Amino acid sequence: MKIGIFYATNTGFTKDIADKIHSKLGPKLVTTCKNIEDRTIDEMLGYDVLLLGIATWDAGDLPYDWAEFYDDLHKYDFTGTRVVMFGLGDQVGYPETFLDAMGIVYRKFLEQGAHGDCGFWPTAAYEYFGSLAVYGETFCGLAIDEDNEPELTDSRLDKWCAQIMRELGLLQVCDSNDQPNNAATA
């Protein structure tokens, strides 16, 4: 199974989260971890699973690099690709648009044929008024708030990485360094 992490970062927070996910899942399981800056959508094609990282800017906006990708996504077919989202937002400063960018990009990939429903995260521990990333009682991906709850990030990442490993049907076989050295579908 070919898995890639693609993210955009304006402040560096999303890169830090992407790097932590890459480290937790291991480089043998995740073949790519790239900032989409100066990249093309073509580089996302051919992956079985895309782990997509996005922060919500201001009142629900996409970061610059995701906005450019978004405008061209309608030209691409992601049928057969599974998308798994992780998003960063500020539930205190922007409670009415918390993680909107994650929901916007997730829906667009689904419109382009991608398969979702993996990595959904409970909304109960967050205080916000509105979000385009909400599906029932869950967000469409991992919710990170580095502005207000950075002390919860590592435990959330641990739980979420274990969750997506189960949901993707991956068996993790570790070597002596406790890093994945083989992944197979269940």
Give CA–CA dist 126/103, Å, rounded. Answer: 16
Question: What is the pLDDT of the chain when averaged over all its residues?
Answer: 89
CB atoms within 10 A of CB 112: 17
What are the pLDDT digits (tens) for 142-162? 999 999 999 999 999 999 999
* Contact residues for 42 (Cβ-Cβ < 8 A; gap 6+): none
Supply the DSSP symbol for 152. G
Domain spanning 3-185, CATH class: alpha beta
Q: Which of 63-67, 91-95, 103-107, 135-139 bottoms out in mean pLDDT, i.e. has the lowest?
A: 63-67
- Its pTM stands at 0.89
What are the pLDDT digits (tens) for 87-129? 999 999 999 999 999 999 999 999 999 999 899 999 999 999 9
